[in-house]
Structure 1
Amino acid sequence: MDSHTIAVVGGTGPQGKGLALHFARAGHKVVIGSRSAGRAEEAAAEIRARVGSAVDVLGLDNKGAVEAADAVLIVVPWDGHEELVAALAPVLAGKLVISCVNPLGFDKRGAYGLDVEDGSAAEQTQRLVPDAVVVGAFHHLSAVSLWEAEGPLGHEDVLVVGDDRDAKEKVAALAATITGRPGIDGGVLRLARQLEPLTAVLININRRYKTRSGVSVSGIPA
């Protein structure tokens, strides 16, 4: 497995911190990004405490984290996403950018997918940073499961969408550090329009059955 320096923008949040934990365990250098470098370093310290001080995890502000990395995960709430990505566009250019963002709304009836002018969060990122290679992945993984698991989430698959096949293969390989097997190529980037709101279905399933549901695709050769 190739080793990467991975920035996790939004790495102080539950899902970002859980993804960072698994990448660090797998031997990747991880840089937690946050608007506050202090908060980022606090999250990095939590990961070092879980995995061991020998792992290469540090916290920086978002710009510094992106500059230090060759692959960047965007794991932030939809509210404020466009402003954040636009501000980071100069340092995201030329990078592999992995969008994990789910544009969701919530009301008394539960979670639901929002209509996005650009089609999806991933496509919005591509519009704002046309010189980046954008891939959508990791949308459906439970933040709690990511943080609590001591090993791979073997019951789940990571679906990967994008327009660059080589980039999708890199992200599929990264997915194996989470689930124990490569991610599944789900098609071109515009299909993030289907992947992102599917998270709302899982949230409502979790609410109904008091569980942590995920996505598992059958019929794929080993």
Structure 2
Amino acid sequence: MDNFDNTIAVVGGTGPQGRGLALRFARAGHAVVIGSRSAERAGDTAAEIRHRVGASAEVRGLANPDAVAAAGIALLAVPWDGHRELVRDLAPHLAGKLVISCVNPLGFDRHGPYGLDVEEGSAAEQAQQLVPDAVVVGAFHHLSAVTLWEADGLLDHEDVLVCGDDRAAKERVAALAATITGRPGIDSGALRLARHLEPLTAVLIGVNRRYRTRSGLKLSGIPA
């Protein structure tokens, strides 16, 4: 996975998580394509990010299929509801690319958020099964959408946990994480561990509600 185009398509780039990650990547100098079901909405979000980053920002907005076709890296930042259908529809454009999944299959009831059972194990594993010719990596699940969008500096109080079955792809995603937190993402093992990372987001949401904060994860004992 060393020869793909470095342009990053953010599928779901008009949503809270997607636009926050797109903003961070653009600030770091990456070429970014905002993807949405509506090309007009994608264009509006791209214009807002260019306004915040500056005239040098290489950010544009396209409908999801066109956004993915224009990039070598596709980040899935979409709701779990409809995930299977979306990925299946985009599969011809995702083949041969590095696909980053930060999708969290969560449910909500009167007791709060909880992780949903996924037939394939996780959203990331579902995406890998739907697009076997892509290399899927799970990452960025636990970053606060509000903090990504509103904070000015690096999120140096957090770590990005990265899981996948391709070491080079994980290293590439870990390097992208450094543009957000100031240090590389942490290799957290095989893609199958996404089934444990994704529902952990429910714990953070519960903590945030209880303490009225924006909590994040940071691991101790990791060598610099």
Same fold at TM > 0.5: yes
Aligned match for 1:106, one of 90, 105, 108: 108
> 1:79 corresponds to which letter in structure 2?
D
> 2:159 corresponds to which letter in structure 1?
D
Query: Which 4+ stretches in 1 moved above 3 angstroms?
Result: none
1:166 aligns with 2:159: no
**Unaligned stretches of 5+ in structure 1?**
none
CA drift of 1:92 comes to: 0.2
CA drift of 1:149 comes to: 1.3
1:27 aligns with 2:29: yes
**Which residue number in structure 1 is paired with residue 177 of structure 2?**
175
CA distance in 1, matches of 2:63, 2:81: 19
Aligned match for 2:84, one of 76, 82, 85: 82
CA distance in 2, matches of 1:147, 1:12: 12
1:133 aligns with 2:135: yes
SS of the residue corresponding to residue 137 of structure 2 reads strand
| CA distances 1:137-171 after superposition (whole Å, capped 9, x unpaired) | 00000000000111210000000000000000000
**Which residue number in structure 1 is paired with residue 125 of structure 2?**
123
CA drift of 1:18 comes to: 0.3
CA distance in 2, matches of 1:23, 1:108: 36
**Which residue number in structure 2 is paired with residue 49 of structure 1?**
51
1:64 aligns with 2:66: yes
Matched-pair identity in %: 77
Aligned counterparts, 1:199-214, within 5 A? 199-214=201-216
Q: Using structure 2 for the length normalisation, give the TM-score.
A: 0.97
CA distance in 1, matches of 2:187, 2:200: 16
| CA distances 1:72-116 after superposition (whole Å, capped 9, x unpaired) | 100000000000000000010000000000000011110000000
SS of the residue corresponding to residue 122 of structure 1 reads helix
**Which residue number in structure 2 is paired with residue 17 of structure 1?**
19
CA drift of 1:53 comes to: 2.0
CA drift of 1:39 comes to: 0.4
CA drift of 1:54 comes to: 1.7
SS of the residue corresponding to residue 187 of structure 1 reads coil
CA drift of 1:178 comes to: 0.7
RMSD, aligned α-carbons: 1.0
1:8 aligns with 2:16: no
**Which residue number in structure 1 is paired with residue 154 of structure 2?**
152
SS of the residue corresponding to residue 97 of structure 1 reads strand
**Unaligned stretches of 5+ in structure 2?**
none
CA distance in 2, matches of 1:177, 1:65: 22
> 1:160 corresponds to which letter in structure 2?
V
1:92 aligns with 2:88: no
CA drift of 1:187 comes to: 0.1
SS of the residue corresponding to residue 199 of structure 1 reads helix
Q: Using structure 1 for the length normalisation, give the TM-score.
A: 0.98
